[in-house]
């Protein structure tokens, strides 16, 4: 379906300027342009819009020195973050990963409260799960994380449970799968790679530590 809406002619003109019309459509439009001055006028206006858009001045001064400064700034930030994360990793994993724990904890507590004294959920949750939840905005979580497949989400959820939550919490966490998926869905698309990377890193760390323990 063509994305033209009601004004099909404007749609064709835009595609004409955008060079995405097929050859027959282009030929038809060019014939119409020859016959209809008002169409030519509309095309001229659109042409001018495109040209003006393309001509909007850039904001950033571009000199070799400035570009070198830019790259140096990126390296400074990287080194600063490496130092920070090296210090941080001695204390605890960083980033959104741990920010997810309060959410999982809150959901767990809510679930336990709902389920009450039914089966294994009648037990008290481990103390480490009972933390004050933070609002998502404070955790830097964003909405519209919808580009990923269900498999990816499930994989991320599973790894999340295995890597973040203590073993003693596993029985409670099993019941949280839908909530955790929803939680993952709240993340911004830019966080996919961050999330997967954190998950992989956490998984690798865990493998190493369990390997060295044995």
Residue from 57, 117, 119, 135 touching other proteins (CB under 8 A): that is: 57
Decide if residue 101 touches other proteins (CB under 8 A): no
Decide if residue 44 touches other proteins (CB under 8 A): no
Candidate ranges 109-117, 168-176, 177-185, 195-203; the one touching other proteins (CB under 8 A): 195-203
Whole-number minimum distance, CB 150 to other proteins, in Å?
16
d(CA 7, CA 20): 17
Candidate ranges 96-104, 110-118, 120-128, 185-193; the one touching other proteins (CB under 8 A): 185-193
Decide if residue 132 touches other proteins (CB under 8 A): no
- In sequence order, which ranges of the chain are alpha helices (DSSP H)? 8-17, 23-35, 37-55, 64-91, 96-115, 150-164, 170-173, 177-185, 191-213
Decide if residue 203 touches other proteins (CB under 8 A): no
Question: Would you tell me the crossing angle of helices 96-115 and 191-213 to the nearest 10 degrees?
Answer: 80
d(CA 24, CA 43): 18
Residue from 7, 44, 128, 206 touching other proteins (CB under 8 A): that is: 7
Whole-number minimum distance, CB 99 to other proteins, in Å?
15
Decide if residue 50 touches other proteins (CB under 8 A): yes
Backbone φ, ψ for residue 175 (5° rounding): -80, -5
Q: Whose CA is closest to 109, among 172, 168, 174, 180?
A: 172
Residue from 58, 114, 127, 132 touching other proteins (CB under 8 A): that is: 58
CA angle 147, 152, 153 (to 5 degrees): 80
Cα dist. 41→21, 35, 46, 69, 163 in Å? 19, 12, 9, 47, 63
Candidate ranges 31-39, 73-81, 124-132, 161-169; the one touching other proteins (CB under 8 A): 73-81
Question: Would you tell me the crossing angle of helices 96-115 and 150-164 to the nearest 10 degrees?
Answer: 90
Candidate ranges 103-111, 112-120, 154-162, 192-200; the one touching other proteins (CB under 8 A): 192-200
Residues within the interface to other proteins (CB under 8 A)? 1, 3-5, 7, 10-11, 14, 18, 20, 45-46, 49-50, 52-62, 67, 70-71, 73-74, 77-78, 81, 142, 147, 188-190, 193-194, 196-197, 200
């Amino acid at each position: 379906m063509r994305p033209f809406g009601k004004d099909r002619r404007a749609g064709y003109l835009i595609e004409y300027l955008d060079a995405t019309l097929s050859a027959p459509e282009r030929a038809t439009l060019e014939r119409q342009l020859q016959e209809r001055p008002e169409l030519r006028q509309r095309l001229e206006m659109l042409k001018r819009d495109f040209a003006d858009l393309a001509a909007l001045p850039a904001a950033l001064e571009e000199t070799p020195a400035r570009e070198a400064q830019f790259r140096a700034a990126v390296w400074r930030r990287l080194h600063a973050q490496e130092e920070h994360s090296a210090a941080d990793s001695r204390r605890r994993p960083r980033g959104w990963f741990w920010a997810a724990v309060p959410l999982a904890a809150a959901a767990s507590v809510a679930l336990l409260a709902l389920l009450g004294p039914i089966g294994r959920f009648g037990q008290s949750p481990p103390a480490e799960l009972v933390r004050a939840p933070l609002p998502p905005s404070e955790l830097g979580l964003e909405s519209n994380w919808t580009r990923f497949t269900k498999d990816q989400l499930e994989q991320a959820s599973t790894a999340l449970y295995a890597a973040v939550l203590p073993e003693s919490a596993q029985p409670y966490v099993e019941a949280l799968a839908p909530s955790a998926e929803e939680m993952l869905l709240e993340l911004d698309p830019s966080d996919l790679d961050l999330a997967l990377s954190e998950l992989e890193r956490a998984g690798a760390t865990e493998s190493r530590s369990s390997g060295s323990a044995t």
